[in-house]
Homo-oligomer: A and B are copies of this chain.
């Protein structure tokens, strides 16, 4: 069960974005495991992808196509990641793009392919190809929710975020979906996320908006410290809602769009954590007082990925010694432990590197019994600050990953 409020929101449609789904039987029967996005001509598209050296065939091809041409279609399958599949895997991804391109009257390199699921098996390519026409037949601007369901694997809930906003009297929309739920420590992007707006944004700003917002959202979450071979995040601006084009960061409307996109991306990223495999708690780890952002992140990830801390969180045990351990092992140069402060929620547990004499186990236990917990660390070295989001480590994490073939 996902943690906290994960209600699927009203999804505003985005002019110029249509979505179709079909049952291709990639791995399981009777589920809509194939999703196609179609963008209006003139849309600007940006993507960020996994940094894994074993990047999947669709990731390699999406990067290539994105560099060569302007995308008009995305095609996404679940059930099979088409990763570690060699030359055949690349050919299958290419065949998928070609079939969709032929049916949509565009170039093959105007299609970006995405896959998620089991690594190391070849795609059932004929079934996949046969699913494309049916998906095209139900293309609709109302397809966001069906797509959110379509891209799920071990996710227990569909993940969506959507906002309507106004700029100079024109109404725009920002709508996106994402999926998790394991093998999550994205390094450039999450497993899969697709966000679109009908605002008119220049290509270079679309790229910049995606890079900026990914850093503070998908690149700040971790379920298990594992990085997928297929992580991809795509941002599309169709411009079809009209208004004057936004082509400079000095345009005051740029800041508004940055704020909206930041919220949508952070929500989509946090939804992945809230639905992390076996998660029973949602944890925010904030590290401040660092000499630079990197060391804040190093400490935050060291805490967020420690199996000992994650099991203590599951057990609601205010075992703060383990937090100190994780700070100690994070590799911060010349850290003076006597300047370190640690809080659980509002309760200071560690004062100047030692036990806070005013701390009581009851106060710590009260915080740990919550479903949403803030761990805050002050390194006492400077002004840098950063935040990472994670979940706890439960019996169910082991159960899900001992059973599921991901």
- Determine the distance from Cα of A321 to Cα of B118 in the docked complex, in whole angstroms: 7
Check A321/B53 contact, CB under 8 A, given A84-B350, A86-B352, A187-B329: no
A308 touches B226 (CB 8 A): yes
CB-CB under 8 A from A294, the residues of chain B are none
Is the pair B118, A325 in contact by a Cβ cutoff of 8 Å?
no
Asked if A182 is at the interface (CB within 8 A of a chain B CB), the reply is yes
- The interface residues of chain B lying within 8 Å CB-to-CB of A224 are 306-308
Task: State in angstroms the CA–CA spacing of A367 and B340 once bound together.
Answer: 47
Give A362 Cβ to nearest chain B Cβ, in Å: 15
Closest chain B CB from A166 CB (angstroms): 42
Interface size on A, residues (CB 8 A): 70
- A158-186 to B contact mask, C-beta < 8 Å, 1/0: 00000000000000000000000011010
Given known pairs A81-B321, A83-B321, the reply for A329 and B406 (CB within 8 Å) is no
Q: Across the interface, do A328 and B53 meet the contact criterion of CB distance under 8 Å?
A: yes
A279 to B231 CA separation, bound complex (whole angstroms) = 31
- Flag if B54 contacts A353 (CB, 8 Å): yes
By beta carbon, the residue of chain B nearest A86 is: B354
A85 proximal to B (CB < 8 A): yes
A248 CB–B CB distance under 8 Å? no
Among B55, B225, B228, B325, the residue within 8 A (CB) of A227 is B325
Q: Is the CB of A354 within 8 A of B321?
A: no
In the assembly, what is the distance between CA of A84 and CA of B183, in Å? 33
Closest to A354 in B: B86
> Are B53 and A84 closer than 8 Å at their CB atoms?
no
> Which residue of chain B has the shortest Cβ distance to A379 in the bound complex?
B53
CB contact list, A175-219 vs B, under 8 A? 182-183, 185, 187
Report A280 CB to chain B, min CB distance, Å: 11
Interface stretch, picked from A4-12, A141-149, A252-260, A331-339, is A331-339
State how many angstroms separate the Cβ of A203 from the closest Cβ of chain B.
29
Partner of A226, one of B87, B317, B329, B340: B329
B81 lies within 8 A of A329 (CB): no
**CB neighbours of A406 from chain B (8 A):** 308, 319, 321-322
Q: Is B307 within 8 A of A84, CB to CB?
A: no
Q: Assuming A329-B227, A335-B53, is B350 touching A120 (CB within 8 A)?
A: yes
Which of A120, A224, A397 counts the most chain B CB atoms within 10 A?
A120
Any chain B CB within 8 A of the CB of A229?
A: yes
Not counting A54-B328, A120-B324, A311-B397, a sample of 9 additional A-B residue pairs whose C-beta atoms are within 8 angstroms of each other reads: A54-B324, A54-B340, A84-B354, A119-B322, A183-B308, A185-B329, A307-B393, A308-B401, A395-B395
